[in-house]
């Protein structure tokens, strides 16, 4: 207990002079991260909106009001880790001396936002009753800690015990919820997404990356990063698909394009001259049989016997047939080529 | 003008899966317009065990025009001239498609060896024998395979021996002979230059 308070004092006094430069750097990268984070968050929220609107409302309010709690939790946690942790120092100095430079304030706000998101994520998955219960226990713990003031040590032990219990509880809930609801994998995804950003912004890119991991690990949010996590293999591929390619069908309207592509995979090079097909070539479908070739070879064939190399039928009649099928309206072909360009 | 880039790639591709297909295409001399194709006789036919060489000459319009192919090895087959080695095969004439390659064309020739079409003969004498006296046809075809399609490989061994006596390494000699399509003098030239 005694040594801890010494540590606290040394952090508050020595930190400002020492890490000002680092903080500036961290601030710049933190702003960048914040932008990215906001974008992703919006994306996620919009996805969530599409699924269940009333749930979103709850999450937002819950996330907002618990942001502060979570922040102070992190502050507490980090102060116990000692002064060698860069990220924790940011948080700490902000709370210890509010008149500090805006740099640290900014970064710790970011940290707060991050953790708020984290918290929201974990809340969103569990049912409203369970989330509120866990939140309540958390805040209760915090209040106790804040009241305790200098007696960090005892509170910390309590808090860690509670956090462990919460993590275990959380895991149980997840296991219970996993088979029946859609949201737990999403929660997994969200926490995976946030945790690395969290780590980078808090760590300032220069110091201990395990610091934020430990913090969020206590909440079970970065659980997916652990190699021994049972949920990891199933949720990880889902995550990358969902985040990197959000609903490709919806965005590209690619049903037709996919169907075409599946029937006849477009070759990467012209089968006649073996040159690479560019976008124009690969969207060029001169024959109903689906045989693709580059425009040069097609022109050359038209000059000679004019038969498709794939099916040996004359190109002209096929084009006529196709236009008669479409009623002479070229919109169908236009649409198809457009979709293929979009796809490639 | 021949699309030499395509021919080059075809040769590379052919060399890559030579083990699987047994079909080999190599340039004859220093131009890619004249090539030598080699196909093994199909198993279960009178041509089994033989190695047949086919002269290929690429027209200017290749691949929009079919390659000219002709057996360099004498074959007893209704659709192949026993005199000139000319091949009667539709894909080498009006049914050619630029999507076909030298390898697929040679595969078709190999398929023709195992499935003769006596009703559309190139060599009328052979076709008559095939239709009227099949056993004799099989005997003659086998005899020709033994005599001509295996003699060439015997010839290769003799050439290899000759070049070995000149002091070249066996692996080099064989690859050089393969590269020039079995011509002893060209192989010697290649060995001296390389």
* CATH value at residue A292: 3.30.40
| pLDDT confidence tier of residue A280, bands split at 50, 70 and 90 | confident
Q: Does any CB of chain A come closer than 8 Å to the CB of residue B61?
A: yes
Domain B4-149: give its CATH code: 3.10.110.10
Residues A238 and A264 in one domain: no
Residues A165 and A276 in one domain: no
Residues A56 and A90 in one domain: yes
Residues A84 and A198 in one domain: yes
Residue A226 confidence (pLDDT): 57
Does A304 contact B99 at a Cβ distance shorter than 8 Å? Answer: no
Of B6, B64, B95, nearest to A300 by CB-CB distance is B64
Does A274 contact B64 at a Cβ distance shorter than 8 Å? Answer: no
Contacts of B61 in chain A (CB under 8 A): 304
Residues A302 and A234 in one domain: no
Residues A223 and A283 in one domain: no
Contacts of B95 in chain A (CB under 8 A): 312
Residue B66 confidence (pLDDT): 95
Domain edges within chain B: 4-149
Residues A318 and A199 in one domain: no
Highest mean pLDDT among A61-70, A167-176, A298-307, A324-333: A298-307
Contacts of A291 in chain B (CB under 8 A): 99
Give the domain extent around A105. Answer: 2-246
Residues A268 and A235 in one domain: no
Q: Which of A217, A246, A275 is the last residue of a domain?
A: A246
Total number of domains constituting chain A: 2
User: Per mean pLDDT, which range of A92-106, A213-227, B160-174 is the poorest?
Assistant: A92-106
Please give, one letter per residue, the 3-state secondary structure of chain A.
Answer: CHHHHHHHHHHHHHHHHHCHHHHHHHHHHHHHHHHHHHHHHHHHHHHHHHHCHHHHHHHHHHHHHHHHHHHHHHHHHHHHHCCCCHHHHHHHHHHHCCCCCHHHHHHHHHHHHHHHHHHHHHHHHCCHHHHHHHHHHHHHHHHHHHHHCCCHHHHHHHHHHHHHHHHHHHHHHHHHHCCCCCHHHHHHHHHHHHHHHHHHHHHCCCCCCHHHHHHHHHCCCCHHHCCCCCCHHHHHHHHHHHHHCCCHHHHHCCHHHHHHHHHCCCCCECCCCCCECCHHHHCCCCCCCCCCCCHHHHHHHHHCCCECCCCCCEHHHHHHHHHHHCCCCCHHHHHHHHHHHHHC
Residues A268 and A209 in one domain: no
User: Is the pLDDT at A94 greater than 80, yes or no?
Assistant: no
Does A291 contact B98 at a Cβ distance shorter than 8 Å? Answer: no
Higher-scoring residue by pLDDT: B18, A243: B18
Look over chain A and give the mean of its residue pLDDT values, rounded to a whole number.
53
B85-135 pLDDT, tens digit each: 999 999 999 999 999 999 999 999 999 999 999 999 999 999 999 999 999
B88 is catalytic: yes
Residue B108 confidence (pLDDT): 95
């Amino acid at each position: 207990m005694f040594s801890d308070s010494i540590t606290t004092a040394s952090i508050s006094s020595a930190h400002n002079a020492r890490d000002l430069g680092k903080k500036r750097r961290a601030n710049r990268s933190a702003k960048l991260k914040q932008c990215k984070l906001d974008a992703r968050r919006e994306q996620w929220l919009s996805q969530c909106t599409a699924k269940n609107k009333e749930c979103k409302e709850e999450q937002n309010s819950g996330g907002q009001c618990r942001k502060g709690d979570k922040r102070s939790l992190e502050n507490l946690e980090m102060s116990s880790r000692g002064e060698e942790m860069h990220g924790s120092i940011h948080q700490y100095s902000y709370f210890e001396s509010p008149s500090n430079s805006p740099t640290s304030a900014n970064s710790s706000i970011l940290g707060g936002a991050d953790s708020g998101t984290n918290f929201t994520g974990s809340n969103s998955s569990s049912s409203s009753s369970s989330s509120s219960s866990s939140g309540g226990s958390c805040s209760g713990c915090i209040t106790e800690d804040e009241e305790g003031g200098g007696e960090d040590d005892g509170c910390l032990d309590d808090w860690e015990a509670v956090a462990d219990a919460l993590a275990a509880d959380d895991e149980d809930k997840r296991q219970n919820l996993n088979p029946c609801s859609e949201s737990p994998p999403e929660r997994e995804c969200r926490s995976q997404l946030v945790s690395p950003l969290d780590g980078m912004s808090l760590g300032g890119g220069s110091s201990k990356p395990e610091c934020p991991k430990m913090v969020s690990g206590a909440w079970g949010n970065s659980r997916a990063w652990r190699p021994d996590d049972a949920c990891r293999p199933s949720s990880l591929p889902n995550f990358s698909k969902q985040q990197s390619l959000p609903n490709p069908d919806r965005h590209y309207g690619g049903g037709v394009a996919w169907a075409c592509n599946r029937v006849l995979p477009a070759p990467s090079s012209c089968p006649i001259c073996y040159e690479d097909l560019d976008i124009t070539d690969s969207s060029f479908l001169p024959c109903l049989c689906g045989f693709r070739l580059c425009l040069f070879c097609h022109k050359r064939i038209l000059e000679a016997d004019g038969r498709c190399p794939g099916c040996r039928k004359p190109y002209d009649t096929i084009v006529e047939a196709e236009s008669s099928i479409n009623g002479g309206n070229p919109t169908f072909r236009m649409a198809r080529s457009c979709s293929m360009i979009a796809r490639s | 003008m021949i699309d030499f880039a395509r021919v080059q790639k075809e040769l590379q591709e052919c060399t890559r899966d030579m083990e699987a297909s047994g079909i080999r295409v190599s340039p004859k001399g220093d131009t890619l317009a004249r090539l030598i194709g080699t196909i093994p006789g199909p198993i279960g036919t009178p041509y089994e065990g033989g190695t047949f060489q086919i002269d290929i000459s690429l027209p200017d319009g290749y691949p929009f025009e079919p390659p000219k192919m002709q057996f360099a090895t004498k074959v007893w087959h209704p659709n192949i001239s026993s005199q000139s080695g000319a091949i009667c095969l539709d894909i080498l004439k009006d049914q050619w498609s630029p999507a076909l390659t030298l390898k697929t064309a040679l595969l078709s020739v190999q398929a023709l060896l195992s499935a003769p079409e006596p009703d559309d003969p190139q060599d009328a004498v052979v076709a008559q024998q095939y239709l009227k006296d099949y056993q004799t046809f099989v005997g003659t075809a086998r005899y020709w395979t033994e005599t001509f399609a295996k003699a060439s490989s015997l010839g290769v061994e003799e050439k290899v021996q000759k070049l070995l006596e000149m002091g070249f390494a066996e692996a080099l000699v064989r690859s050089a002979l393969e590269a020039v399509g079995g011509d002893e003098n060209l192989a010697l030239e290649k060995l001296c230059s390389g």
